[in-house]
Amino acid sequence: MYPSAGVYTSFATFASMENHEPKHTRRVRYKGTHPKSFKEKYKELQPELYAADVAKVIEQGRTPAGMHRSICVDEILEILSIEPGQVGMDATLGYGGHSLEILKRLQPRGRLFATDIDPIELPRTEERLRNLGYGEDILVIRKLNFSEIEQIVAESGLLNFVLADLGVSSMQIDNPDRGFTFKVNGPLDLRLNPNNGKPASSLLKTVSQNRLEEILVENSDEPYAHEISAAIKANIAKRVTIGTTTQLRDIIAEALIFIPKNERKDEVKKTCQRVFQALRIAVNDEFGVLEKFLEELPYSLASGGKVAILTFHSGEDRRVKKSFQHFLNLGLYSEIAPDPIRPSVQECNTNPRARSAKLRWAVK
Protein backbone atom coordinates (compact mmCIF):
# COMPACT_ATOMS: atom_id res chain seq x y z
CA MET A 1 0.00 0.00 0.00
CA TYR A 2 1.27 3.41 -0.92
CA PRO A 3 1.15 6.23 1.64
CA SER A 4 -1.53 8.83 1.14
CA ALA A 5 -0.84 12.30 -0.23
CA GLY A 6 -1.34 13.65 3.29
CA VAL A 7 1.49 11.53 4.61
CA TYR A 8 3.77 12.76 1.82
CA THR A 9 2.90 16.31 2.82
CA SER A 10 3.78 15.60 6.46
CA PHE A 11 7.12 14.09 5.50
CA ALA A 12 7.91 17.06 3.25
CA THR A 13 7.00 19.54 5.96
CA PHE A 14 9.15 17.74 8.54
CA ALA A 15 12.09 17.61 6.13
CA SER A 16 11.71 21.30 5.40
CA MET A 17 11.72 22.10 9.13
CA GLU A 18 14.83 19.98 9.57
CA ASN A 19 16.63 21.81 6.78
CA HIS A 20 15.86 25.18 8.31
CA GLU A 21 16.86 24.39 11.86
CA PRO A 22 20.12 26.15 12.81
CA LYS A 23 22.99 23.73 12.77
CA HIS A 24 25.26 23.59 15.77
CA THR A 25 28.67 24.97 14.86
CA ARG A 26 31.72 24.18 16.94
CA ARG A 27 33.99 27.01 17.98
CA VAL A 28 37.16 27.64 16.01
CA ARG A 29 39.89 25.20 17.04
CA TYR A 30 43.48 26.29 17.38
CA LYS A 31 46.83 24.56 17.37
CA GLY A 32 48.77 24.23 20.60
CA THR A 33 47.64 25.10 24.13
CA HIS A 34 46.73 28.78 23.66
CA PRO A 35 44.78 30.64 20.97
CA LYS A 36 46.85 33.01 18.86
CA SER A 37 44.64 34.54 16.20
CA PHE A 38 41.92 37.10 16.99
CA LYS A 39 39.00 34.83 16.11
CA GLU A 40 40.38 31.89 18.13
CA LYS A 41 40.32 33.88 21.38
CA TYR A 42 36.75 32.92 22.12
CA LYS A 43 37.03 33.53 25.87
CA GLU A 44 38.40 37.04 25.49
CA LEU A 45 35.72 37.81 22.90
CA GLN A 46 33.01 36.81 25.39
CA PRO A 47 34.07 38.57 28.62
CA GLU A 48 30.57 38.25 30.08
CA LEU A 49 30.99 34.45 30.05
CA TYR A 50 34.68 34.18 30.96
CA ALA A 51 35.31 37.03 33.41
CA ALA A 52 38.04 35.17 35.32
CA ASP A 53 39.99 34.35 32.14
CA VAL A 54 39.73 37.94 30.93
CA ALA A 55 40.95 39.20 34.33
CA LYS A 56 44.06 37.00 34.00
CA VAL A 57 44.85 38.51 30.59
CA ILE A 58 44.59 42.02 32.05
CA GLU A 59 46.78 41.07 35.03
CA GLN A 60 49.47 40.03 32.54
CA GLY A 61 49.51 43.58 31.15
CA ARG A 62 47.68 42.67 27.95
CA THR A 63 44.43 43.91 26.44
CA PRO A 64 41.92 41.11 25.84
CA ALA A 65 40.85 40.64 22.22
CA GLY A 66 37.73 42.60 21.36
CA MET A 67 38.13 44.90 24.38
CA HIS A 68 39.65 48.29 25.06
CA ARG A 69 41.20 49.47 28.32
CA SER A 70 40.54 53.16 28.92
CA ILE A 71 43.57 55.31 29.75
CA CYS A 72 44.00 58.02 32.42
CA VAL A 73 40.50 57.40 33.80
CA ASP A 74 41.23 58.78 37.29
CA GLU A 75 43.06 61.82 35.92
CA ILE A 76 40.22 62.61 33.51
CA LEU A 77 37.55 62.30 36.19
CA GLU A 78 39.53 64.61 38.47
CA ILE A 79 39.90 67.21 35.71
CA LEU A 80 36.26 67.16 34.65
CA SER A 81 34.92 67.15 38.25
CA ILE A 82 31.62 65.64 37.11
CA GLU A 83 28.59 66.19 39.32
CA PRO A 84 25.05 64.76 39.23
CA GLY A 85 22.76 66.79 37.00
CA GLN A 86 25.44 68.00 34.60
CA VAL A 87 25.28 67.60 30.82
CA GLY A 88 28.39 66.49 28.97
CA MET A 89 29.82 64.78 25.91
CA ASP A 90 32.08 61.81 25.31
CA ALA A 91 33.22 62.72 21.80
CA THR A 92 34.80 59.32 21.12
CA LEU A 93 32.68 56.60 22.73
CA GLY A 94 34.74 53.58 21.58
CA TYR A 95 34.38 50.67 23.99
CA GLY A 96 32.60 52.93 26.47
CA GLY A 97 35.04 52.65 29.37
CA HIS A 98 35.31 56.38 30.03
CA SER A 99 31.58 56.85 29.48
CA LEU A 100 30.72 54.17 32.02
CA GLU A 101 32.71 55.93 34.74
CA ILE A 102 31.19 59.28 33.79
CA LEU A 103 27.66 57.87 33.92
CA LYS A 104 28.21 56.61 37.46
CA ARG A 105 28.91 60.19 38.55
CA LEU A 106 26.07 61.82 36.62
CA GLN A 107 23.26 59.86 38.25
CA PRO A 108 20.47 60.41 38.95
CA ARG A 109 19.72 63.55 36.93
CA GLY A 110 22.57 64.17 34.51
CA ARG A 111 22.89 63.40 30.81
CA LEU A 112 25.76 62.19 28.66
CA PHE A 113 25.84 62.60 24.89
CA ALA A 114 28.26 60.15 23.22
CA THR A 115 29.38 60.02 19.59
CA ASP A 116 31.32 57.59 17.41
CA ILE A 117 31.51 56.82 13.70
CA ASP A 118 32.42 53.14 13.84
CA PRO A 119 29.35 51.23 12.54
CA ILE A 120 30.78 47.91 13.76
CA GLU A 121 31.71 48.72 17.35
CA LEU A 122 29.11 51.40 18.13
CA PRO A 123 26.10 49.01 18.30
CA ARG A 124 28.07 46.62 20.51
CA THR A 125 29.02 49.37 22.94
CA GLU A 126 25.48 50.72 23.02
CA GLU A 127 24.09 47.26 23.77
CA ARG A 128 26.62 46.80 26.59
CA LEU A 129 25.76 50.13 28.23
CA ARG A 130 22.01 49.70 27.77
CA ASN A 131 22.23 46.26 29.40
CA LEU A 132 23.84 47.93 32.41
CA GLY A 133 20.70 50.03 32.82
CA TYR A 134 21.67 53.29 31.13
CA GLY A 135 18.68 54.33 29.04
CA GLU A 136 18.01 57.31 26.77
CA ASP A 137 17.09 59.42 29.79
CA ILE A 138 20.76 59.58 30.85
CA LEU A 139 22.76 58.31 27.83
CA VAL A 140 22.19 59.63 24.31
CA ILE A 141 24.28 57.90 21.62
CA ARG A 142 24.68 59.33 18.13
CA LYS A 143 26.55 57.88 15.13
CA LEU A 144 28.32 61.12 14.40
CA ASN A 145 31.83 62.44 13.85
CA PHE A 146 32.92 64.48 16.85
CA SER A 147 33.81 67.36 14.54
CA GLU A 148 30.03 67.85 14.27
CA ILE A 149 29.85 68.90 17.93
CA GLU A 150 27.50 71.75 17.05
CA GLN A 151 24.83 69.16 16.21
CA ILE A 152 25.12 67.75 19.72
CA VAL A 153 24.97 71.22 21.29
CA ALA A 154 21.81 71.98 19.29
CA GLU A 155 20.23 69.02 21.10
CA SER A 156 21.93 69.22 24.49
CA GLY A 157 22.50 72.91 25.08
CA LEU A 158 25.89 74.21 26.21
CA LEU A 159 28.00 71.47 27.80
CA ASN A 160 29.44 71.29 31.30
CA PHE A 161 32.22 68.97 30.18
CA VAL A 162 33.67 67.33 27.06
CA LEU A 163 36.03 64.37 26.77
CA ALA A 164 37.85 63.33 23.59
CA ASP A 165 40.10 60.26 23.52
CA LEU A 166 41.83 60.45 20.15
CA GLY A 167 43.36 56.99 20.25
CA VAL A 168 42.28 54.13 18.04
CA SER A 169 40.40 51.51 20.08
CA SER A 170 42.07 48.18 20.77
CA MET A 171 39.07 46.40 19.21
CA GLN A 172 39.91 48.07 15.90
CA ILE A 173 43.64 47.42 16.14
CA ASP A 174 43.36 43.78 17.15
CA ASN A 175 40.78 42.70 14.58
CA PRO A 176 42.71 41.84 11.37
CA ASP A 177 39.56 42.35 9.29
CA ARG A 178 39.80 46.08 10.01
CA GLY A 179 43.30 46.36 8.51
CA PHE A 180 44.85 48.46 11.28
CA THR A 181 47.74 46.16 12.17
CA PHE A 182 50.74 44.96 10.18
CA LYS A 183 51.31 42.02 12.54
CA VAL A 184 48.75 39.74 10.85
CA ASN A 185 47.35 39.59 7.35
CA GLY A 186 44.21 41.55 6.57
CA PRO A 187 42.81 44.03 4.05
CA LEU A 188 44.77 47.28 3.93
CA ASP A 189 41.82 49.40 4.99
CA LEU A 190 42.48 51.62 8.04
CA ARG A 191 39.09 53.40 7.89
CA LEU A 192 37.41 54.13 11.19
CA ASN A 193 34.13 53.90 9.29
CA PRO A 194 34.58 51.25 6.58
CA ASN A 195 31.34 52.38 4.93
CA ASN A 196 32.70 55.82 4.02
CA GLY A 197 35.65 56.99 1.97
CA LYS A 198 38.36 54.91 0.38
CA PRO A 199 40.69 52.38 2.05
CA ALA A 200 44.44 52.89 2.38
CA SER A 201 45.02 50.47 -0.52
CA SER A 202 43.21 52.90 -2.85
CA LEU A 203 45.18 55.85 -1.50
CA LEU A 204 48.49 54.14 -2.28
CA LYS A 205 47.34 53.40 -5.82
CA THR A 206 46.32 56.98 -6.66
CA VAL A 207 48.63 59.24 -4.63
CA SER A 208 51.84 60.59 -6.20
CA GLN A 209 55.20 59.64 -4.76
CA ASN A 210 55.89 63.20 -3.63
CA ARG A 211 52.53 63.50 -1.88
CA LEU A 212 52.96 60.09 -0.23
CA GLU A 213 56.33 61.18 1.10
CA GLU A 214 54.71 64.33 2.49
CA ILE A 215 51.98 62.27 4.19
CA LEU A 216 54.57 60.07 5.91
CA VAL A 217 56.54 63.09 7.14
CA GLU A 218 53.57 65.24 8.16
CA ASN A 219 51.58 62.51 9.89
CA SER A 220 54.28 60.49 11.61
CA ASP A 221 57.67 62.25 11.19
CA GLU A 222 58.84 59.19 9.24
CA PRO A 223 62.66 59.38 8.76
CA TYR A 224 62.61 56.91 5.85
CA ALA A 225 59.70 58.58 4.05
CA HIS A 226 61.61 58.94 0.76
CA GLU A 227 62.77 55.33 0.61
CA ILE A 228 59.38 53.91 1.56
CA SER A 229 57.32 56.09 -0.79
CA ALA A 230 59.69 55.25 -3.63
CA ALA A 231 59.43 51.52 -2.92
CA ILE A 232 55.63 51.61 -2.74
CA LYS A 233 55.23 53.50 -6.01
CA ALA A 234 57.86 51.30 -7.73
CA ASN A 235 55.83 48.20 -6.85
CA ILE A 236 52.61 49.80 -8.06
CA ALA A 237 54.33 50.78 -11.31
CA LYS A 238 55.08 47.08 -11.81
CA ARG A 239 51.31 46.46 -11.41
CA VAL A 240 51.81 44.97 -7.96
CA THR A 241 48.59 45.35 -5.98
CA ILE A 242 49.19 46.40 -2.38
CA GLY A 243 45.91 45.20 -0.97
CA THR A 244 46.85 43.63 2.35
CA THR A 245 48.61 44.71 5.52
CA THR A 246 51.38 42.15 5.18
CA GLN A 247 52.07 43.12 1.57
CA LEU A 248 52.76 46.67 2.73
CA ARG A 249 54.82 45.41 5.66
CA ASP A 250 56.99 43.33 3.30
CA ILE A 251 57.56 46.30 0.98
CA ILE A 252 58.63 48.43 3.96
CA ALA A 253 61.04 45.69 5.06
CA GLU A 254 62.45 45.51 1.53
CA ALA A 255 62.90 49.30 1.42
CA LEU A 256 64.93 49.18 4.65
CA ILE A 257 67.27 46.40 3.54
CA PHE A 258 70.19 48.85 3.84
CA ILE A 259 69.84 48.95 7.66
CA PRO A 260 72.37 46.71 9.47
CA LYS A 261 70.93 43.25 10.01
CA ASN A 262 71.21 43.34 13.81
CA GLU A 263 69.10 46.54 13.90
CA ARG A 264 66.75 45.84 11.02
CA LYS A 265 63.98 43.83 12.72
CA ASP A 266 63.35 46.44 15.40
CA GLU A 267 63.61 49.31 12.91
CA VAL A 268 61.17 47.69 10.50
CA LYS A 269 58.65 47.25 13.31
CA LYS A 270 58.89 50.90 14.38
CA THR A 271 58.70 52.07 10.78
CA CYS A 272 55.61 49.96 10.11
CA GLN A 273 53.94 51.51 13.15
CA ARG A 274 54.68 55.00 11.86
CA VAL A 275 53.65 54.28 8.27
CA PHE A 276 50.36 52.65 9.25
CA GLN A 277 49.66 55.57 11.58
CA ALA A 278 50.38 58.11 8.83
CA LEU A 279 48.11 56.33 6.34
CA ARG A 280 45.33 55.98 8.92
CA ILE A 281 45.45 59.70 9.64
CA ALA A 282 45.31 60.49 5.93
CA VAL A 283 42.51 58.03 5.12
CA ASN A 284 40.30 59.39 7.91
CA ASP A 285 41.37 63.06 7.60
CA GLU A 286 42.03 62.91 11.33
CA PHE A 287 43.88 66.22 11.57
CA GLY A 288 41.17 68.04 9.64
CA VAL A 289 38.47 66.53 11.85
CA LEU A 290 40.40 67.43 15.02
CA GLU A 291 40.97 71.02 13.92
CA LYS A 292 37.26 71.52 13.19
CA PHE A 293 36.38 70.07 16.61
CA LEU A 294 38.90 72.31 18.39
CA GLU A 295 37.55 75.38 16.58
CA GLU A 296 33.97 74.68 17.74
CA LEU A 297 34.90 73.53 21.25
CA PRO A 298 35.03 76.81 23.25
CA TYR A 299 31.68 77.89 21.80
CA SER A 300 30.14 74.56 22.87
CA LEU A 301 31.01 74.84 26.58
CA ALA A 302 28.94 76.51 29.28
CA SER A 303 30.69 79.05 31.53
CA GLY A 304 33.09 77.09 33.73
CA GLY A 305 32.81 74.09 31.42
CA LYS A 306 35.82 71.80 31.19
CA VAL A 307 37.40 69.80 28.39
CA ALA A 308 39.94 66.96 28.55
CA ILE A 309 41.65 65.64 25.42
CA LEU A 310 43.81 62.53 25.29
CA THR A 311 46.30 62.44 22.40
CA PHE A 312 48.65 59.70 21.23
CA HIS A 313 51.16 61.33 18.92
CA SER A 314 52.90 64.65 18.45
CA GLY A 315 50.73 65.87 15.56
CA GLU A 316 47.58 65.65 17.66
CA ASP A 317 49.21 67.10 20.77
CA ARG A 318 50.63 70.08 18.87
CA ARG A 319 47.20 70.95 17.51
CA VAL A 320 45.49 70.67 20.89
CA LYS A 321 48.19 72.72 22.62
CA LYS A 322 48.10 75.43 19.93
CA SER A 323 44.28 75.66 19.98
CA PHE A 324 44.07 75.85 23.77
CA GLN A 325 46.71 78.61 23.85
CA HIS A 326 44.98 80.52 21.03
CA PHE A 327 41.60 80.59 22.75
CA LEU A 328 43.21 81.37 26.12
CA ASN A 329 44.76 84.47 24.52
CA LEU A 330 41.33 85.41 23.14
CA GLY A 331 39.79 85.07 26.58
CA LEU A 332 37.51 82.16 25.65
CA TYR A 333 39.38 79.83 28.00
CA SER A 334 40.10 80.98 31.54
CA GLU A 335 42.75 78.35 32.19
CA ILE A 336 44.61 75.62 30.33
CA ALA A 337 47.00 72.81 31.29
CA PRO A 338 50.52 74.26 31.64
CA ASP A 339 51.97 70.89 30.65
CA PRO A 340 50.54 67.59 29.43
CA ILE A 341 49.68 64.93 32.00
CA ARG A 342 51.23 61.52 31.33
CA PRO A 343 49.90 58.14 32.47
CA SER A 344 51.49 56.83 35.65
CA VAL A 345 54.36 54.36 35.49
CA GLN A 346 52.07 51.77 37.01
CA GLU A 347 49.44 52.25 34.29
CA CYS A 348 52.06 52.06 31.53
CA ASN A 349 53.42 48.83 33.01
CA THR A 350 50.00 47.19 33.13
CA ASN A 351 48.79 48.69 29.83
CA PRO A 352 51.66 49.32 27.38
CA ARG A 353 49.31 51.10 24.95
CA ALA A 354 49.16 54.00 27.45
CA ARG A 355 52.83 54.91 27.04
CA SER A 356 52.42 57.45 24.24
CA ALA A 357 49.37 59.17 25.74
CA LYS A 358 49.27 62.85 26.71
CA LEU A 359 46.35 64.51 28.46
CA ARG A 360 45.60 68.24 28.19
CA TRP A 361 42.70 70.22 29.65
CA ALA A 362 41.07 73.63 29.42
CA VAL A 363 38.36 75.55 31.32
CA LYS A 364 35.83 77.92 29.68
Tell me: do 200 and 232 sit in the same domain: yes
- The closest of 129, 154, 58, 55 to 347, measured between CA atoms, is 58
In a domain, 189, yes or no: no
CATH of the domain at 236: 1.10.150
* Cβ-proximal residues to 14 (8 Å cutoff; 6+ apart), any chain: none
* Cβ-proximal residues to 172 (8 Å cutoff; 6+ apart), any chain: 118, 121, 178, 180, 192
Q: Structurally, how many domains does the chain consist of?
A: 3
pLDDT tier for residue 1 given thresholds of 50, 70 and 90: very low
In a domain, 66, yes or no: no
Tell me: do 341 and 269 sit in the same domain: no
Tell me: do 261 and 329 sit in the same domain: no
Tell me: do 238 and 322 sit in the same domain: no
CATH of the domain at 86: 3.40.50.150
Query: Residue 308 pairs with which residues in a beta bridge?
Result: 163, 361
Greatest Cα-to-Cα distance within the chain, rounded to the nearest angstrom = 99
Would you list the DSSP string of 82-151? Answer: --TT-EEEES--TTSHHHHHHHHHHTTT-EEEEEE--TTHHHHHHHHHHHTT--TTTEEEEE--GGGHHH
Q: What is the pLDDT of residue 184?
A: 83
In a domain, 246, yes or no: yes
pTM above 0.85, yes or no: no
Q: What is the pLDDT of residues 293-337, one digit of tens each?
A: 999 999 999 999 999 999 998 899 999 999 999 999 999 999 999
Tell me: do 117 and 252 sit in the same domain: no
In a domain, 185, yes or no: no
- Please check the confidence at residue 43 and state whether its pLDDT lies above 50: no
CA distance 206 to 202: 6
Other residues' Cβ atoms within 10 Å of the Cβ of residue 54: 20
- Give me the domain span that covers residue 37: 5-59
Among 230, 256, 283, which residue terminates a domain?
A: 283
Q: What is the pLDDT of residue 319?
A: 96
Q: What is the pLDDT of residue 27?
A: 56
Cβ-based burial of 128 (10 A; exposed 0-12, middle 13-18, buried ≥19): middle
Tell me: do 165 and 293 sit in the same domain: yes
Q: What is the pLDDT of residue 48?
A: 54
- Please check the confidence at residue 211 and state whether its pLDDT lies above 70: yes
Tell me: do 136 and 210 sit in the same domain: no
Q: What is the pLDDT of residues 99-149, one digit of tens each?
A: 999 999 998 889 999 999 999 889 999 999 999 999 999 999 999 999 999
- Better pLDDT: 144 or 351: 144
Other residues' Cβ atoms within 10 Å of the Cβ of residue 321: 18
pLDDT tier for residue 347 given thresholds of 50, 70 and 90: confident
- Please check the confidence at residue 241 and state whether its pLDDT lies above 50: yes
CA distance 287 to 218: 10
